[in-house]
Structure 1
Amino acid sequence: MKQINDYRHRKILVLGLAKSGVSAASLLHKLGAFVTVNDKKPFSENVEAQRLLEQGIKVICGEHPIELLDEGFELVVKNPGIPYNNPIVKKAEELHIPIITEVELAYQISEAPFIAITGTNGKTTTTTLIYEMLKAAEKKVLIAGNIGTVASDVAQTATDDQTIVLELSSFQLMGIDTFNPKVAILTNIYDAHLDYHGTRKEYVKAKGNITKNQAKKEYFIVNYDQAEVMEIAHKSKAMLIPFSTKEELHNGVYVKDNAIFFNDEKIIQIEKIALPGKHNLENILCAIAAAKLFNISNNAINTVLHTFRGVKHRLQFIEEINGRKFYNDSKATNILATTKALQSFTQPVVLLAGGLDRGNEFTQLIPYLNNVKALITFGQTAEKLEEIGRMAGIKAISRVDNVEEAVPKAYALSNEGDVILLSPACASWDQYKTFEIRGDIFIKAVHKLK
């Protein structure tokens, strides 16, 4: 960890806790800052705040009082989940107080370089694939970020002979200043989180931040098949490494004759890849590009691709019960992710879907519901999804209270040879704190059924 003096004796407000806020507050305290933590959860229920207080950090809980900014803070480190239209955040902007997220701190103290991955879909799978490929080649590699491990925690122990593979959300990327990865990856861009960003333009701008500080010595791996991504790429100063599932790219990664090539070198036949789903091909191309930039052998790449079957909650195969295959795709928190999952199967599907209502009408799902024989809905969007199901001609449509109830109902509507798929097309926050919790409940219900 770099021993920087940038924050010594500076007054800093950490806004919002959760994992990243706790890490940021502790780190800044170590770096000599005068830290105040402000979290909405009441102190009596806030274990994290209580522990920070024991470290000697000032803690204010229960609300976000705007008057707090009268204390003369020089910096705000904001939890990514707190939107910029929050009154205290808006006031900080009016006062021209810099606002960053915890990943910026991680970059500033890290001795290790970063491979940073963002995009609407495929981030977690791509991040995990890269990590596994580097590990298979016996490289010293760490994994962090939106995938579950806080970046600044990992960065504190990282050394200059290691590499940090970092998954980043648009929320996190809105709060960077100097962050500059050795390799940046933009998997794709589709409509998502518009309730947070306000407009697609702002969402795209946030994603583009991943390359804003890169120079010629860094690399930017980009989706050649998306014009919007290539617009960002052409503004980047980094060395571009494009990938495509449609075009032959002699200076990038592409598909030809049912095989994957990097700079015209054949890497692997597609039929030898264990990871299911056409949508995962883009993720694999990204991972191969990153691995080759780190001189990873084809043998190590192939070893991973022959065995890797996906990450938890992302089209994760759970088990087969009486000829029914159960898949957990709880991370499908938007419509596009669910369409990708549905395209992965030719068998009849019993679809479990529903969750937070963000104003979507779900009509984009209709062309992908041909194989869906039954639909089980839950959550705020249940009624909307049922209407879409009827429009698609699905005969068996049922509503339940939650995911746990959906599993036995789905089984009752299924036959041998069917796929039972949890792919909600919605965020989980109406009923579950995270999509991970929603997925874990699904898994437990499947095991209980067995």
Structure 2
Amino acid sequence: MNIKDKKVLVVGAGKSGISVSRFLLRKGAMVLLTDNREKDKLGGALDELLEAGMQAELGSYPDVRGDTFDMVVVSPGVPPSVPPLVSARQYGIPVLGELELAYRFASAPMVAITGTNGKTTTTTLVGEIFRMAGLRTLVGGNIGLPLVDVVEDYGPKDIIIAEVSSFQLETANHFKPRVAVVLNITPDHLDRHGSMEGYIEAKARIFARQGPEDFTVLNYDDPGTRALAGATSGKVIFFSRKHNLEEGVLVRGDMIAVRHKGIDTDIIPPREVAIPGVHNLENALAAVAAAFALGVRPEVLARILRSFPGVAHRLETVAQKDGVLFVNDSKGTNPDASIKALKAFDRPIVLLAGGRNKGSDFSEFARLIKQKVRVLVVLGECAGEVERAARAAGCNNVLKAPGFREAVLMAHASAKPGDVVLLSPACASWDMFNNFEERGDLFREIVLNL
């Protein structure tokens, strides 16, 4: 892809937009970065790019016509309805995202992982597996490191493990990973995609250009994900913790096994998988499928599954104080993720929930709250919505916090020895924080200072 001397509009001045602008400048493009926020609301990285020759239009968007730009690169958080993107599509100007741009310059094979929940844990786990297998491994994408920053440092003998979101996949046109993994699909981001059909369509773009030499790893236990098998041209590898698959990765009695052409290869007993919870067993099965497809040996898989501790902000133990366990699950940004977190504990829970709703229904979440939660502390933009759902399900021990710090202190005051204080908001963090990491970090800081 030749972008030297091309006029490129970059829409969105967050982490992704800054990385894209830096990359394009290195390639000799003429870059205009735009954001509807003013400069004082953005980070200091802009100054360095402006000195390097980038132009910026901040606080409003520029007019886009057929002759103004050769290409538009959009950040994942920018909705497709903003004026420059609408105009670009009308004039036939190519619109792509950072993931697609990075892919165009990648020479290493790629394992791409998506799903409503479990992406970060599985991506990190797969990365550890390939590192242990001796490959030079890049782990990035939606997990925090924009691929475009370092993608050219990796060659055909290396491997890239990428977490990819539905937002990133919306603008994927040539993207074709060697292995595409879809962990699960449950309602999320419906405010962006408009419907479950739109959300599933975005997720399915992960394998849309795969061929018979590629692999598509799908969760057999999730009906929506299983149904995607007929839409891919890649070799389908199912994983299941519930079914006795004819072919795929399964739990057979007391053993995780890979079944291929009638032969079972044992990996490890499920009880020896280090990360807790049945949802993490599913993540482990998906990781085994992705790595085994590319020839990683069973003993390497077993070694990593026994030692991998999980990731920050996902059922992360923060502290044990006076018999109370404090757990950070800030990455629980939708009801299904938080349902999985609640199911991971068999002791009374004091739950902190609420934030910005992404179009979710809280009724199923509320029914489990009634069963598992002793005290519910609601907070954030949709605190009232979560409270109403909980009370409708019969949960009456509900406290409403005016802010995040107060919520943690109220949960602490309500907890008894033997309880879990669990931050698993079932909502996005954007009403109070820039991201879920910031929310989880503050939870950790407050707990450690109690």
Same fold at TM > 0.5: yes
Answering whether residue 388 of structure 2 is matched by residue 387 of structure 1, we say yes
Q: Equivalent residue for 2:202?
A: 206
Name the amino acid aligned to 2:147.
Answer: A
Q: Equivalent residue for 2:213?
A: 217
Q: Equivalent residue for 2:236?
A: 240
Residues 373 and 395, structure 1, Cα contact 8 Å, conserved in 2 = no
In structure 2, C-alpha distance between the alignment counterparts of 1:285 and 1:134, rounded to whole Å:
15
In structure 2, C-alpha distance between the alignment counterparts of 1:39 and 1:390, rounded to whole Å:
41
In structure 1, C-alpha distance between the alignment counterparts of 2:434 and 2:218, rounded to whole Å:
32
Q: Equivalent residue for 1:278?
A: 278
Q: How does the TM-score come out when normalised to structure 1?
A: 0.95
* Deviation string, structure 1 residues 342-370 (Cα, Å, up to 9, x no partner): 11111000000010134544111133121
Answering whether residue 24 of structure 2 is matched by residue 42 of structure 1, we say no
Residues 17 and 48, structure 1, Cα contact 8 Å, conserved in 2 = no
CA separation of 1:43 and 1:366: change in aligned 2, threshold 3 A: closer
In structure 2, C-alpha distance between the alignment counterparts of 1:86 and 1:180, rounded to whole Å:
27
CA separation of 1:197 and 1:57: change in aligned 2, threshold 3 A: same
Q: Equivalent residue for 2:449?
A: 448
Q: Equivalent residue for 2:54?
A: 57
Deviation at 1:331, TM superposition (A): 0.7
* Deviation string, structure 1 residues 387-412 (Cα, Å, up to 9, x no partner): 23333443432111222222221121
In structure 2, C-alpha distance between the alignment counterparts of 1:342 and 1:433, rounded to whole Å:
25
Q: Equivalent residue for 1:290?
A: 290
- 1:192 aligns with one of 188, 192, 199: 188
Output the aligned Cα RMSD. 1.6
In structure 2, C-alpha distance between the alignment counterparts of 1:134 and 1:357, rounded to whole Å:
36
In structure 2, C-alpha distance between the alignment counterparts of 1:45 and 1:121, rounded to whole Å:
30
Q: Equivalent residue for 2:15?
A: 19
* Deviation string, structure 1 residues 214-246 (Cα, Å, up to 9, x no partner): 111111111122332233221211111111122
Answering whether residue 296 of structure 2 is matched by residue 299 of structure 1, we say no
In structure 1, C-alpha distance between the alignment counterparts of 2:298 and 2:339, rounded to whole Å:
32
Q: Secondary structure at the residue paired with 1:253?
A: strand
CA separation of 1:144 and 1:398: change in aligned 2, threshold 3 A: same
CA separation of 1:293 and 1:360: change in aligned 2, threshold 3 A: closer
Q: Equivalent residue for 1:114?
A: 110
CA separation of 1:19 and 1:193: change in aligned 2, threshold 3 A: same
In structure 2, C-alpha distance between the alignment counterparts of 1:29 and 1:159, rounded to whole Å:
22
Gaps of 5+ in 2: none
Q: Equivalent residue for 2:321?
A: 321
Deviation at 1:137, TM superposition (A): 2.3
Gaps of 5+ in 1: none
Runs of 4+ in structure 1 over 6 Å off: none
Q: Secondary structure at the residue paired with 2:238?
A: strand
In structure 1, C-alpha distance between the alignment counterparts of 2:4 and 2:175, rounded to whole Å:
20
Name the amino acid aligned to 2:423.
Answer: L
In structure 1, C-alpha distance between the alignment counterparts of 2:412 and 2:54, rounded to whole Å:
51
In structure 2, C-alpha distance between the alignment counterparts of 1:397 and 1:212, rounded to whole Å:
45
In structure 1, C-alpha distance between the alignment counterparts of 2:267 and 2:367, rounded to whole Å:
34
Q: Equivalent residue for 1:416?
A: 417
Q: Secondary structure at the residue paired with 2:350?
A: strand
Deviation at 1:156, TM superposition (A): 2.5
Name the amino acid aligned to 1:239.
Answer: K
* Deviation string, structure 1 residues 83-134 (Cα, Å, up to 9, x no partner): 1111221122111211110111111111211110011111111101101111
Name the amino acid aligned to 1:366.
Answer: A
Residues 361 and 384, structure 1, Cα contact 8 Å, conserved in 2 = no
In structure 2, C-alpha distance between the alignment counterparts of 1:395 and 1:81, rounded to whole Å:
36
In structure 2, C-alpha distance between the alignment counterparts of 1:259 and 1:403, rounded to whole Å:
43
In structure 2, C-alpha distance between the alignment counterparts of 1:194 and 1:220, rounded to whole Å:
25
Residues 140 and 147, structure 2, Cα contact 8 Å, conserved in 1 = yes
Residues 188 and 359, structure 2, Cα contact 8 Å, conserved in 1 = no
In structure 2, C-alpha distance between the alignment counterparts of 1:256 and 1:148, rounded to whole Å:
35
The correspondence of residues 115-194 of structure 1 with structure 2, limited to 5 A, is 115-194=111-190
CA separation of 1:120 and 1:265: change in aligned 2, threshold 3 A: same
The correspondence of residues 418-437 of structure 1 with structure 2, limited to 5 A, is 418-437=419-438
Deviation at 1:70, TM superposition (A): 6.1
Deviation at 1:40, TM superposition (A): 2.2
Residues 217 and 238, structure 1, Cα contact 8 Å, conserved in 2 = yes
In structure 1, C-alpha distance between the alignment counterparts of 2:18 and 2:413, rounded to whole Å:
45
Residues 144 and 165, structure 1, Cα contact 8 Å, conserved in 2 = yes
In structure 2, C-alpha distance between the alignment counterparts of 1:299 and 1:244, rounded to whole Å:
21
Name the amino acid aligned to 1:364.
Answer: E
Q: Which moved more, 1:433-442 or 1:154-163?
A: 154-163
Q: How does the TM-score come out when normalised to structure 2?
A: 0.95
Residues 316 and 329, structure 2, Cα contact 8 Å, conserved in 1 = yes
Identity %: 39
In structure 2, C-alpha distance between the alignment counterparts of 1:227 and 1:392, rounded to whole Å:
26
Q: Equivalent residue for 2:374?
A: 373
Residues 52 and 59, structure 1, Cα contact 8 Å, conserved in 2 = no
In structure 1, C-alpha distance between the alignment counterparts of 2:92 and 2:347, rounded to whole Å:
56
Answering whether residue 396 of structure 2 is matched by residue 399 of structure 1, we say no
Name the amino acid aligned to 1:313.
Answer: H
* Aligned residue-pair number: 444
Name the amino acid aligned to 1:278.
Answer: V
Residues 224 and 244, structure 1, Cα contact 8 Å, conserved in 2 = yes
Name the amino acid aligned to 2:273.
Answer: I
Name the amino acid aligned to 1:443.
Answer: R
